[in-house]
Chains A and B, each alone.
Chain A
């Protein structure tokens, strides 16, 4: 991990590219898994890009519940309260897609913090009301039930898993209707450099395939991408 914060300029560049291409860039750097399993867009059409804050849930246990700070100092409020404008709250619900991580009252704090989005492999409650808050929602499901007896908020801003991917505070999260990809902070710049070039190459190849009326396989292969990266015909 880099101690350096991902710059606003880099975050901005991710807003212009698709999650699918970012996925390609992240695995190209050897970071796999990076795509969250069973986490879907609940605000379709929205493109999510932002720096991460985290919250880890554990299975409920009454001694832990007694020890954990309650009220405004509970880990869930510490985590949401740590969000700066544009940040994305990522919650590890251990893949319990039916277990609520919160509803419209709790999640109000994210709206007040100016968060960009909420991502969890658990479920969101009162989703219709939460949608009104104007930030982007990605979750394992929606539910009418509360999180107890399935999940208990335990730790703010530690290393977590979400949807089978390791996530740390300060990483970059990107999401669109294809789903969510995690970009480790230390590779964010190298990945976006690769992604921008790759998207240009893909556009160039799509035009070739259509104009020559050939099967994509003629150009959609490693050799073509390598040649294009070298020749950079779109710059001519």
Chain B
């Protein structure tokens, strides 16, 4: 699978999640927007490579096999994060079950991760948000631990999160609108489209205001409008 370059990641840092959503969808990737996953560190945006962690319903025999202290899948997953990476946790949409709190998530801070995304809940959010410098996107916050509800099972495999398939190495973007998954193989093509689309949108907003017309005259953007934009650049 194609590795996403830092140059591409940096380009994603300059665009909105809403426009990225448009680009991902344009290339036929749907669903890409995580349902029921919200920003819990408002104003913080993320664009980074995904590392993944899959939770399953608890079972004593499985726990006995996989919960090996520092080698437990959750620590393997967090430990695989490079600076700027995003840990994405498949909590099976259990919004009331915590994937971790300030003690466990300390590892993300130590690894220099940029963010944590889950469709389950986060615990001790105030400490994590204030002191760890990590952007948090989650189904909810909770005082409860995850025991009895979810157990970490597998690091860096294909998961679902918020109803979207996510693989290690994908690009995750998030802002206060929510989280969108950009498949690694399509990351470059999508950012090319997104950058042009954002420029065309700005152009169209200018036209709508200067001509004092309803947005419907130019929006949604058609191929003809894109051509008109290019001509306006003197092309």
Contacts and interface: CB of A to CB of B under 8 A. Distances in A.
B56 A161 contact: yes
Report the interface size class on chain A. Answer: 20 to 34
A2 to B, nearest CB: 8
B59 A59 contact: no
B60 A30 contact: yes
Contact of A166 (B62, B165, B186): B62
Nearest to A57: B160
Interface stretch (B26-34, B39-47, B75-83, B110-118): B26-34
Interface string A1-39: 100000000000000000000000000011111000000
B33 to A, nearest CB: 11
A94 B54 CA distance: 13
A32 B186 CA distance: 41
Given A59-B31, A159-B153, A161-B92, A186 B61 contact: yes
24 contacts: A29-B60, A31-B60, A59-B163, A59-B164, A61-B164, A61-B183, A62-B28, A63-B186, A64-B158, A64-B167, A94-B163, A95-B92, A95-B93, A149-B30, A152-B165, A154-B158, A159-B62, A159-B154, A160-B56, A161-B92, A165-B57, A168-B62, A186-B61, A187-B61
A168 B186 CA distance: 34
A62 B167 CA distance: 13
A184 B163 contact: no
Nearest to B185: A63
B58 interface: yes
Interface residues of B, number: 28
Given A58-B160, A61-B183, A63-B185, A33 B58 contact: yes
Contacts of A149: 30-31
Nearest to B164: A59
B7 interface: no
A70 to B, nearest CB: 17
Contacts of B151: 166
B31 A184 contact: no
A164 interface: yes
A184 B31 CA distance: 34
Q: With a 10 A CB-CB cut-off, give which of B30, B59, B93, B185 has the most chain A CB atoms.
A: B59
Contacts of B223: none
A33 B57 contact: yes
B211 interface: no
Given A59-B160, A61-B29, A63-B185, A31 B59 contact: yes
Interface of A: 1, 29-33, 58-64, 94-95, 149, 152, 154-155, 159-161, 164-166, 168, 184, 186-187
A161 B160 CA distance: 12
Given A59-B165, A164-B92, 7 more contacts: A61-B165, A94-B163, A159-B62, A161-B56, A166-B58, A166-B151, A184-B59
B120 to A, nearest CB: 13
Interface in B58-112: 58-62, 65, 92-93
A164 B61 CA distance: 16
A33 B151 CA distance: 12
Nearest to A160: B56
A208 B224 CA distance: 85
A184 B64 CA distance: 13
Contacts of A30: 60
Nearest to A182: B59
A1 B65 contact: yes
A37 to B, nearest CB: 10
Nearest to B167: A64
Contacts of A95: 92-93
Contacts of B58: 32-33, 166
Given A58-B158, A149-B30, A159-B153, A64 B165 contact: yes
B66 to A, nearest CB: 9
Contacts of A165: 57
